[in-house]
Amino acid sequence: MRPRYGLYGVDGIYSSTFDLEKIEDTVIHTFPQIHRLSMLLCVIVSLSGCTPKIEPLNFSGFLTDYTSLRPSPDDSGAWSYRKPGVNFKGYDHIILDPLVIWPSQHSEYGGLDALTAWKLALGFQDSMSRALAGGYVIVKDPGPGVLRLRAALTDVLLERPVVSTPDHILPLANDLLIQASEKISGMNALEGEAAIEVEILDTQSQERLVAYVEKRMSSEVLLTRDKDSLGPVLEIFDYWGKKLRQRLDEERGLREYRKDIQ
């Protein structure tokens, strides 16, 4: 049996696949005098040319499901999903789960030190909180009208951290103290690209209402090794926070959705 081809290869993500046997049969019976292979290639090229080519992302496995994602219509290269028939007007509270960090399999260095992970998590939490302020209440408990935001920083390319001399003690979450030793004193540096994978759930039904995946590129190193600075990655967090707020506001009918986010 011959394989079915989608827009991105054998058994592609799109459901709009086409069967080579059916196309070839149509070509043979309709144009018997034309070379089969030439006509077959022409048909395939014309079909492929009808759809914009959006490069698929390297999905990490963080989201519960990827099969319902489709390319966003804004040409950003993002993939998204929205559950049909959901009324978002009653949702004005949100739980922010801790950020999950998912290094790329192509990363130069596979380990993420505790200090880098902690600072990234706090930076993301701060960006989301500021973006949602004034329109949504950040809560810890589920209930009616409460959304849950699950997010992961994925496809992260890490550089090997620099070993330095212990100099101070760092307070971490849950009153845990970690001394800055040779093992964690050097922060990883993130190269100039990373992706975000997000899903928003109803906290009572646990149904997924929204899912979103987008990759951002930068000409700069996203996270410097300076312990006092997160670097340009904060700008990307702020961008995603603004996009989240505007998307939620649009769904609730609070204001016209702006399309000028860069």
* Per-residue pLDDT at 94: 97
Q: List residues bridging with 154 in a β-sheet.
A: 102, 195
Instruction: Provide the token pair at 243.
Output: 């996009």
Kindly report which listed range (115-119, 171-175, 218-222) carries the lowest average pLDDT score. Answer: 171-175
Binned at pLDDT 50, 70 and 90, residue 53 comes out as very low
Q: At residue 204, does pLDDT exceed 90?
A: yes
Please report how the helices 233-252 and 114-132 are oriented relative to each other, as an axis angle in degrees rounded to 10: 30
Q: At residue 28, does pLDDT exceed 70?
A: no
104 vs 194: CA distance, rounded Å: 9
Is residue 199 within 8 A of residue 63, CB to CB? The reply is yes
Q: Model pTM greater than 0.75? A: no
Other CB atoms closer than 10 Å to residue 118's CB: what's the count? Answer: 17
Q: At residue 179, does pLDDT exceed 80?
A: no
From the DSSP assignment, how many helices (H) and strands (E) are in the chain? 4, 15
- Between residues 11 and 76, which one has the greater pLDDT? 76
Which amino acid, one-letter code, is at 18?
F
190 vs 232: CA distance, rounded Å: 10
Q: What is the residue-averaged pLDDT of the chain?
A: 69
Furthest C-alpha separation in the chain = 82
Nearest in space to 23 (alpha carbons), one of 43, 3, 6: 43
Calculate mean pLDDT across residues 149-164: 76
Binned at pLDDT 50, 70 and 90, residue 57 comes out as low
Q: List residues bridging with 151 in a β-sheet.
A: 198
Other CB atoms closer than 10 Å to residue 236's CB: what's the count? Answer: 23
- Between residues 243 and 25, which one has the greater pLDDT? 243
Nearest in space to 14 (alpha carbons), one of 63, 50, 64, 60: 50
Q: At residue 115, does pLDDT exceed 80?
A: no
Calculate mean pLDDT across residues 79-108: 88
* Per-residue pLDDT at 192: 54
7 vs 64: CA distance, rounded Å: 23
- Between residues 70 and 105, which one has the greater pLDDT? 70
Write down the residue that tokens 């149904």 correspond to: 207
Query: How does 151-170 read in b/e, with b if 16+ C-beta sit within 10 Å?
Result: bbbbbbbbbebeeeeeeeeb
